[in-house]
Structure 1
């Protein structure tokens, strides 16, 4: 059901965290993986080697600053020269917490650029080719903050709400591409809640400081505030869902936002 042999997947921000977990899941199904992110040459090769060991027929690292449209264009061109992209995962993201009054304008620009505008550029360049071939999967990693808001995260929330809306537009525009036999073209969002990744560490440290530096108590305090399950998610859980969304059987699942948030957005 999840055989992706012969498919090429491009996963932004895939050298660590959720992006790496998604790349590993897709690799386990036999996909070729175009890796991207902030990494040294040695770190990037280690990631690629691990993906090949996980089952990827090929894995190659591609550089590109997602804050710069020109670099995004060159990045996509390089990946598509390596192989037409069948699966696009827009995962790269940055966050900064501050109130509206204290949020630097340059931080707003950077967060919107990486979390929203980069996905606009990758989708507009890659989706037409998917439609022409009759198969394509776009999985955009949104957030619970694409469904509900929180204080001190204006650019991040704005970007993730925008990503959800843009994904729905793209899903409608490409809904009739391809066929059931070919697999069609789908665009979906995954909306993680508290997940064990580097992006939440500043907030964990802030909470832990209230408990004498006890990280476990800091995490528990975060979870108690928002996530009814009182459990964090592991990046591999997001990878498993992304893999299923990329399978041919998911041809009629498009335009959705699927939370993995322990009930956070059900409240």
Structure 2
């Protein structure tokens, strides 16, 4: 295998994950995509990105709710590309509800995908990264990894947890040239955010416009949504030599939300 880096990005069939995977491929990394969606549409994305960039772009449809599927996906990526240099844990779901009405199955699903899947993928990748004496692990957290909002008990718990996991892995990998950092975006207008607008309208008895202006962007001093490309650029930066001494950090890309 040559010197080309290999990356795996979970939840990369759309949204932030696809933006990160695209940035990596354009920078010359081989990439493994993962995520849900229509098989034909995902293949169109995969083949188009491969054709555009000239790197190898794979797809693994592993169900990250299952621990064995997480580790199997890591093993498959290493087997196919010969290495795994960069792992991005991005996959996530959301549900909005008062805690007394919060469905237990929804809570369990959010913790499994937004937090536990990152544990399992890192666990699967860490031995190979230590042996190679190189690894860059990036966990997509959230402003909700630092502060809370009502009606998001599971999501806030998971994102606080992912920042704690990031710090622990950063310490364990430090002397092996394995760096682990988190990115904490504010609101990015992805499908995940779009999908919670109706639930928030219902929970708060608001119109769509009120939810966007008075709830979603109320906390972001810039009054602007974060762009997918901005998050992707930070992720790419974290894989460069300039970021070698950034370890265990949670970088806020939130328009000033958590500065308040």
- The TM-score by the shorter chain falls in which range? over 0.9
SS of the residue 2:44 aligns to: helix
- Deviation (angstroms), 1:74: 2.0
- Deviation (angstroms), 1:224: 4.5
Per-residue CA distance 1:2-22 (angstroms, 9 max, x = gap): xx9611100000010000000
Structure 2, unmatched stretches of 5+, are: none
- Deviation (angstroms), 1:75: 1.8
- Correspondence 1:264 to 2:257: yes
How many pairs are equivalent? 255
Task: Give the Cα separation in 1 of the matches to 2:156 and 2:91.
Answer: 15
Does the 8 Å CA contact 1:190/1:258 hold for their aligned counterparts? yes
SS of the residue 2:181 aligns to: strand
Task: Give the Cα separation in 1 of the matches to 2:31 and 2:43.
Answer: 12
With normalisation by structure 1, the TM-score equals: 0.90
- Deviation (angstroms), 1:41: 2.3
- Deviation (angstroms), 1:256: 0.2
Structure 1, unmatched stretches of 5+, are: 178-183
- Deviation (angstroms), 1:207: 4.7
Say if 1:210 and 1:108 are closer, same or farther in 2 by CA, change over 3 A: closer
- Correspondence 1:7 to 2:14: no
Partner residue in 2 for 1:172: 171
Structure 2 counterpart of 1:237, from 207, 230, 234: 230
Structure 1 counterpart of 2:193, from 186, 196, 200: 200
Does the 8 Å CA contact 2:115/2:158 hold for their aligned counterparts? yes
Alignment of 1:141-156 (within 5 A): 141-156=140-155
Does the 8 Å CA contact 1:31/1:56 hold for their aligned counterparts? no
Per-residue CA distance 1:216-259 (angstroms, 9 max, x = gap): x6422334521111010111110000000011221111100001
Say if 1:5 and 1:199 are closer, same or farther in 2 by CA, change over 3 A: farther
SS of the residue 1:229 aligns to: coil
Per-residue CA distance 1:134-188 (angstroms, 9 max, x = gap): 21100100001111111111111111111100110000111111xxxxxx22100
